Amino acid sequence: MSKKIMAVDDSATIRQVLNFTLQGAGFQVSEAEDGQDALEKLANDPPDMLITDLNMPRMDGIQLIKEVRKQPWGKFIPILMLTTESQEAKKLEGKAAGASAWLVKPFKPEQLLAIINVVLL
């Protein structure tokens, strides 16, 4: 059974890049446009891993991470945050919220897969 990953980003391009890259590596991928959308979709079908952008309308990535960590299924899943802000503040905020790892955009597909290898086993 291949692992399920949800990709959350308000950019359709990034979602597509994530989707293609992850599917190519054998993962099952679902998409959401923002934090709110993700939470609604996740409730029925919890993933093995979450990849989320930080800056999104309605519910941002930090809030999404906090919400997911409150869920029984989300307590221990790996969460990768995507960010274009390499400032410490955002990273620390995300880590404090419970993010496992981060990746700065733009990234190469192999960088994404390398990180997933580290955090998703």
Local structure of 70: helix, strand or coil: helix
106 preceded by a cis bond (ω within 30 of 0): yes
Report, in Å, the least distance between residue 41 CB and other proteins. Answer: 19
57 binds other proteins (CB under 8 A): yes
Query: What's the token pair of residue 64?
Result: 């999404």
CA distance 69 to 108: 28
Selected from 6, 8, 17, 62, the binder of other proteins by CB under 8 A is 17
Kind of pairing between the strands at 4-8 and 28-32: parallel
Nearer to other proteins, 43 or 57 (CB): 57
Selected from 3, 4, 41, 95, the binder of other proteins by CB under 8 A is 95
103 binds other proteins (CB under 8 A): yes
Strand partners for 5:
29, 49
Residues that bind other proteins (CB under 8 A): 10-14, 16-17, 20, 49, 53, 55-57, 69, 75-79, 84-87, 95, 98-108, 110-111, 114-115, 117-121
